[in-house]
Structure 1
Amino acid sequence: MRVDAEINSVISWVPVPDGGATGPLAGLTVGVKDNIEVGGVRSTCASAFLADHVADRDAPVVRRLREAGALVVATLNLAEFAVGVTSQNSAAGGPRNPWDRRRVPAGSSGGSGAAVAAGLVDLALGTDSGGSVRLPAAACGVVGLRPTPGLVDTTGVYPVSTGFDTVGPMARTVELVERSFGVLGDLPRRPRPRPRVLGVPRHYVTDDVDPAIRDAVDVMLGVLRDLGFEVVAVDVPAAESAQDHVYTLLYADLARVHRDRLSSQPELFQPATLERVRLGLGIDETARRDALEARSQFRAGLRRVFEEVEVVVTPTLPVDVPLVDESLPVLAQSARLGQLSYPWSLHAGPTLSVPVGFHPDSGMPIGAQLTAAPADEAALFAVGRAYQDVTAWHDRRPGLSVAHRPASRSISS
């Protein structure tokens, strides 16, 4: 097994029972983000507040994986309470990117993305409120799904914002993400013709994006054209303001979740977490209502977009994967890295991040987001599989040494 000491992705190793596994995920190893409860194992949210918390039962998503034959082997590192785009604000120490351990694995599901990329697990669960599956998937060169909200049970998942929280699988291939979603999701099974028309937004999502990333996505679109897909330009209405509305709603919910901690023991938070959680204290009900109305209008505009096209394609991360010691302020970094993920969190449908190349300067992975209408995950899987059938970005592996399985992480106050 590849050494976790290099990337610090595991919080606890989980005992695996003896006996042959059966089911659609039989024998596959799974890591679970440590804000999702695994029965009998510490579920810490990478926080000193929950350092000794042991879950008394599996969350439904974990139970479904086990029933499908998957072997849950680890709980995985994350940004504290799933708040943060770099995952460095973890009480267990920040996880690192297996492609370059000087760089972040993004967040908040940084340990999940890193564990899959490093080969520690076949499949990982993450959670995604503002981009927390998609950003690590892009930064670590794997596939990650933010499903349609409500299709995957979030019971037993520590909340960030009930209006945005989702649980999504991460793996090397679209095929395995699709297979695991078939176990996790309550999606009606119906035939879905192959999507034909892909949309590329004219503005915003192509503005202020690293040229190398934009080029990699353009090459991806060329591959898809060669496969018979039509690519057309579309307008995504109010995309520029979507991020602000997500912040208003998400941070208001976050402050409510942690209100007692903020008043009683704020010093136990990691500093970067505390800074973000406190943002919600100043958001009043009028601002929240305005943001909800803006979300309704944004979704109405997207319904019109998905009458024209079946899948919208954008970059996932707008910039190269940051270095751990990069000095950009916490909130500015969150806004920059989440620039292209937050708008799709305001959407009522699914988004899939797929690896599409490597940055020519740093050698770090590049991801593209595929977004579809609500409950149309099948369209994303069809496009993603078609792309991976003729490309090999997902087959590349970071160079890591091999060593024994390390001890579980310690989280102290």
Structure 2
Amino acid sequence: MDRRRGCDSVPARGECRLTRNGGQGTNSRALSPRDLDRTLASVITWIDQTDAPCGGPLAGMRIGVKDNIDVAGTATTCASRFFEHTVAKSNSDVVARLLSAGAQVTAKLNMAEFAVGVTSQNSAAAAPRNPWNLDRVPGGSSGGSGAAVAAGLVDASLGTDTGGSVRLPASACGVTGLRPTWGSISNVGVFPVSAGFDTVGPMARSVADVARIFDVLSTDSYSSSRPARRIGVPRVFITDDVDPAISEAVDAAARELSALGYELVPIDILGAAGAQDIVYTLIYSDLAREHRDRIRQAPELFQPATLERISLGLNITDAQRDSAQAGCVEYRLGLESVFDEVDVVLTPTMPVDVPFIDGGDDVVEQSRRMGQFSYPWSLHNGPTLAVPVGFHSISGMPVGAQLTAAAHQERQLFEVGLRYQQSTDWHLATPPA
């Protein structure tokens, strides 16, 4: 038993898995490999909920939760063979809040094993696919959360974001996702990656729905009604090596925001180029500590890509970690001056197009490249909202942008995002049947 999570290794109640045509199996047996190969595989377990309250701010909303978030009586597998039969005894704080608000929690959603990975292809349940193109990844680590919303299997979902795991799948799947101010949403009942960076975040088609869910989940008493007026646009954000089609889509979004009356301000973000290494050092050292016993006792139970990434933290020294902590403090001080100058910062979510499933790239290098623009905002303790801003002019895949504000300024992001979505319709697009 994992006492921190309140789970027992006993059989879960009956489950079924999503098929590509939207049908469902009707028993608890896993589908055959051939069947799984023909699925979207965004859902690990369907939940039969019969006790939802009739009213509340989320009444009737079907919400799926990433499978590292506890739902009482249902397995929390973390998409890993280690926890295949580990059933939650109680609801996580976020699920309890959803249920109290009238939501229907209908599914546990697929993910990268232990939330380690940006493509979600290292799931022990099955490799989830992107509903916009089944040959491409849905992003990660909350890949099932993004894919399920995009495909209309749920109205909204919860993911977790440590280095970009809500924002990357939101971008890859063409939906809206929020990494909130760190600490504003409870992590009780959520399996950890790195406690200093982990946060639960909602995903939905629209900013309006994301804001509704955030209001239910947030424990943050801080509130600001200061309107956003100035949007910072970095002259170069880390690198100018950005896919031209992505730059075009984000530039078009900037022009739309300017047309809406926001002042666009060229800015520089000092230290952004080194932020990813700082976050990597801190996250991977935490991962290694969390999984050290599993690596020693049963490394064969890990998916290979998961083991490779977690193992990166085994040799990180205390001195390296201390240096990274100091770098984190310095970087955050620099960001404070940025948000003294502007209210919101606009950046791409990813610098590259959504990868193919069989891209063959080195797993560590692919992670660094896809997360190149998300990790620096993980080092910031304020909120980032990922919104769809178009489609890649060559591949046709969704393109996303990030809007980031100072800590506790979610309202500013919602204001900007709502106005943007009122004047555009990218968030209304749905994948082909």
Scaled by the length of structure 2, the TM-score of the pair is 0.91
Whether 1:355 aligns to 2:388 is: yes
Residues 361, 316 of structure 1: alpha-carbon distance in 2 compared, 3 angstrom cutoff: same
Q: What is the CA distance between 1:379 and its match in structure 2? A: 0.8
1:3 matched to which residue of 2?
A: 22
Correspondent of 1:285 among 304, 318, 330: 318
Whether 1:202 aligns to 2:238 is: no
Could you tell me how far apart the structure 2 residues matched to 1:127 and 1:115 are? 15
Whether 1:294 aligns to 2:330 is: no
RMSD over equivalenced CA pairs, Å: 1.2
- 1:304-345 CA-to-partner distances (Å, cap 9, x unmatched) read 000000000000011000000001100000000000000001
Correspondent of 2:271 among 216, 229, 238: 238
Unaligned runs of 5+ in 2: 1-17, 24-37
- 1:159-212 CA-to-partner distances (Å, cap 9, x unmatched) read 000011000000000000001000001233645132000001112345111111
Correspondent of 2:180 among 147, 154, 160: 147
Could you tell me how far apart the structure 2 residues matched to 1:354 and 1:117 are? 13
1:407 matched to which residue of 2?
A: none
Correspondent of 1:261 among 280, 294, 302: 294
Could you tell me how far apart the structure 1 residues matched to 2:116 and 2:412 are? 30
Could you tell me how far apart the structure 2 residues matched to 1:124 and 1:12 are? 14
Q: What is the CA distance between 1:26 and its match in structure 2? A: 0.2
2:87 matched to which residue of 1?
A: 54
Deviates most, 35-44 or 180-189: 180-189
Q: What is the CA distance between 1:244 and its match in structure 2? A: 0.3
Deviates most, 185-194 or 119-128: 185-194
2:146 matched to which residue of 1?
A: 113
Q: What is the CA distance between 1:285 and its match in structure 2? A: 0.4
Could you tell me how far apart the structure 1 residues matched to 2:224 and 2:415 are? 12
Q: How many residues align?
A: 400
Counting aligned pairs with the same residue, the percent is: 59
Q: What is the CA distance between 1:20 and its match in structure 2? A: 5.6
Could you tell me how far apart the structure 1 residues matched to 2:324 and 2:235 are? 24
- Within a 5 Å distance, the mapping from 1:96-135 to structure 2 comes to 96-135=129-168
Unaligned runs of 5+ in 1: 401-413
Q: What is the CA distance between 1:137 and its match in structure 2? A: 0.1
Whether 1:177 aligns to 2:210 is: yes
Deviates most, 243-252 or 204-213: 204-213
Correspondent of 1:335 among 368, 380, 386: 368
Residues 19, 96 of structure 1: alpha-carbon distance in 2 compared, 3 angstrom cutoff: closer
| One-letter amino acid matched to 1:386 | R
2:378 matched to which residue of 1?
A: 345
Residues 289, 191 of structure 1: alpha-carbon distance in 2 compared, 3 angstrom cutoff: closer
| One-letter amino acid matched to 1:49 | F
Aligned structure 1 segments of 4 or more residues deviating by more than 3 angstroms = none
8 Å contact kept, 2:349–2:401? yes
2:26 matched to which residue of 1?
A: none
Q: Secondary structure at the match of 1:275?
A: helix
Q: Which has the higher contact order (CA 8 A, sep 6+)?
A: 1
1:408 matched to which residue of 2?
A: none
Whether 1:307 aligns to 2:340 is: yes
Q: What is the CA distance between 1:6 and its match in structure 2? A: 3.2
1:406 matched to which residue of 2?
A: none
Could you tell me how far apart the structure 2 residues matched to 1:75 and 1:186 are? 23
8 Å contact kept, 2:53–2:99? no
